[in-house]
């Protein structure tokens, strides 16, 4: 079986083919320029292979409701030239196999879920957050991605403010101090004048971030009761997650039972942001099993 | 077909039997005294009927994970005498039909979901909050209740504080100023010295509550993207929900599309807190259809 994966990001598209064991057989990066140019290069790449199915995980917002006439579109993205692009339609014109279509973070969520179940963890549900330039998340429940009325936008929930961070306005243009506005990568520069990578892990800014990220973990814990919460993205690191676990424990105050926190709140199993690739393979394969 | 329903509350149990159209044929109230006495009266009531299946929606916390040896138990409730009660086991000893087991709010969520689909609304997912002495919620996604690792406890999320409410400590013994600690019925007395029913709807306390309840609605909107959010319970009323819609619109700032707010954020369709009854019938019937 040959499965294809498109991980579509704002700076590059990662295209890969793999087998039913989700082993990558070939992989390329294509820069994100115009939709016409990038998608043509993507199609040309996959034409070399005899795919059985293809999975696409795209930056967004995208339309994922199958009942919508805009299903398969990138909709209102600020990425220049890409708003209102019929991504899926363009691919379908040239690649005539079953194609799955979801968001980048949903792809990663499904990849992490798939990896967990492959290695026999007893997992029915999982939430995946990416914390980078922005904050997004996807959730899998009972093997299905969540989002009846559209994909989740968990990066934009409001939070209780940290007492040492009351004067920071937040950087989200839509909501100011939502989760993304308080913890996305660029908040380091907004708070300290330095890039995140230059702020030592002993700086209290990391404690403030951990307090907010823990609240996000609390929200999905109490709303979804998932088996696992995975944090990826450029801002996430092991020291930060240890702080998140500590804040999470304080806030939850043993109100509900959760797995041991080092297993419950974790880094991705798939290294180098490769989760979406695995997720795409698995989602594509699922189309063939239906 | 004859379906049974037990809606188990801290002050009374409502037992009912109904048909496959969810019409109630008979109904009684049994006071909540000791587990032995109350559950015996419940069993005696149902022995009059030839049930095909039974649904139970109980106050909690309860164990809903089928893999747990305590499945079917009321676990750590503060209700005197009821902690660690094998509710489902007691019923099963005398009533030998398929029995569904879930929380009171899950029952209500499923009832509201069922009512919506019966009347041909295009609904795949729904969240039901009850705001009364406490705050609880249940969620249905693609026809299934959410909660892999236990039932949701959405009443205990943290929230951004209202600028006119910064000095209120909140009444939750576990988290102080979580949603329940800020909006449950007894917060009226804690804030104003008056019971909620005696606080005029023009009082700004209602605006403060609406700001917090709107944040709860924002959280589930961005995390689950449901088709509908229903608010029941003694604190909820039409004027409050109108304020909630207004705050919700302000906070969301059009970030994602939602249905018209008067359809999206609503009072229960089933009057007099009868949603759980319908939900129990439907959950019981589902066991027969499997």
Residue B128: how many other CB atoms lie within 10 Å? 30
Contact A218 B157 (CB under 8 A): yes
CA–CA dist A63, A69 (Å, integer): 9
Q: Do B174 and A223 touch (CB under 8 A)?
A: no
Q: How far is CA A217 from the centre of its chain?
A: 15
pLDDT, tens digit, for every residue of A151-169? Answer: 999 999 999 999 999 999 9
Low-confidence ranges of chain B (pLDDT < 50): none
Fold matches, B3-102 and B120-268 = yes
Q: Give the homologous superfamily in CATH for domain B120-268.
A: ATPase, nucleotide binding domain (3.30.420.40)
Q: Do B222 and A156 touch (CB under 8 A)?
A: yes
Q: Between A154, A158, A225, which is nearest B215 by CB? A: A158
Record: contact B147-A259, CB cut-off 8 A: no
pLDDT at B10 (0 to 100)? 93
Which residue in A160, A227, A255 is closest to B153 by CB distance?
Answer: A255
Q: B157 vs A222: CB contact, 8 Å cut-off?
A: yes
ipTM value of the model?
A: 0.92
pLDDT tens string B114-136: 999 988 888 999 999 999 999 99
Other Cβ atoms closer than 10 A to B12:
14
Q: Which ranges of chain A have pLDDT less than 50? A: none
- Cα–Cα distance, B247 to B213 (Å, whole number): 9
Q: Are the C-beta atoms of residues B140 and A148 closer than 8 Å to each other?
A: no
First vs last C-alpha separation in chain A: 15
B259: chain A residues, CB-CB within 8 Å: 149
Nearest CA in chain B to A150: B225
Is B108:B101 a contact under the CB 8 Å cutoff? no
Model pTM score: 0.93
pLDDT at site B273: 80
Task: State which residue of chain A sits closest to B227, comparing Cα positions.
Answer: A149
Show residues of chain A in contact with B144, CB under 8 Å: 141-142
CB–CB of A158 and B160 under 8 A? yes
**Which residue from B5, B184, B36 is spatially nearest to B102, judged by alpha carbons?**
B5
Q: Does B124 touch chain A (CB under 8 A)?
A: yes
Euclidean distance between CA atoms A71 and A165, whole angstroms = 41
Residues in A closer than 8 angstroms to B218, CB to CB, are 156-158
Cβ neighbours of A141 in B, within 8 Å: 141, 144, 146, 148
| Number of cross-chain residue pairs from A and B with Cβ atoms under 8 Å apart | 137
CB nearest A251 (choices: B137, B139, B158): B158
What topology is assigned to A3-102 in CATH?
Nucleotidyltransferase; domain 5 (3.30.420)
pLDDT at A84: 96
pLDDT of residue B212: 98
- Tell me, what's the pLDDT at B148? 82
| Residue A219 touches partner B, C-beta closer than 8 Å | yes
Half-sphere exposure of residue A19: CA atoms within 13 angstroms, side-chain side: 3
DSSP assignment of A201-235 equals: TTSHHHHHHHHHHHHHHHHHHHHH--S-EEEESTT
Domain coordinates of chain A in residue numbers?
3-102, 120-268
């Amino acid at each position: 079986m040959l499965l294809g994966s498109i991980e579509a990001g704002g700076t590059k598209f990662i295209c890969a083919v793999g087998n039913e064991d989700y082993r990558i057989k070939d992989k390329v990066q294509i820069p994100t320029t115009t939709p016409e140019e990038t998608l043509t290069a993507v199609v040309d790449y996959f034409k070399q292979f005899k795919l059985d199915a293809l999975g696409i995980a795209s930056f967004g917002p995208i339309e994922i409701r199958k009942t919508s006439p805009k299903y398969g579109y990138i909709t209102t993205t600020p990425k220049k030239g890409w708003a209102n692009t019929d991504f899926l339609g363009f691919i379908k014109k040239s690649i005539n196999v079953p194609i799955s279509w979801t968001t980048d973070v949903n792809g990663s969520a499904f990849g992490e879920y798939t990896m967990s179940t492959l290695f026999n963890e007893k997992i029915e549900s999982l939430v995946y957050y990416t914390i980078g330039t922005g904050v997004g998340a996807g959730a899998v429940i009972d093997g299905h991605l969540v989002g009846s009325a559209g994909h989740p936008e968990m990066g934009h929930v409001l939070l209780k403010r940290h007492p040492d961070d009351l004067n920071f306005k937040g950087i989200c243009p839509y909501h100011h101090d939502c989760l993304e506005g308080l913890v996305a990568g660029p908040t380091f520069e907004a708070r300290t004048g330095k890039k995140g990578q230059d702020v030592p892990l002993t700086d209290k800014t990391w404690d403030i971030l951990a307090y907010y990220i823990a609240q996000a973990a609390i929200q999905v814990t109490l709303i979804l009761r998932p088996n696992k919460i995975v944090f990826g993205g450029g801002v996430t690191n092991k020291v930060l997650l240890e702080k998140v676990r500590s804040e999470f424990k304080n806030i939850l105050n043993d109100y509900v039972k959760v797995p041991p926190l080092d297993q419950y709140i974790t880094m991705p199993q798939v290294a180098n942001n490769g989760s979406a690739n695995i997720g795409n393979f698995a989602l594509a394969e699922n189309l063939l099993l239906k």
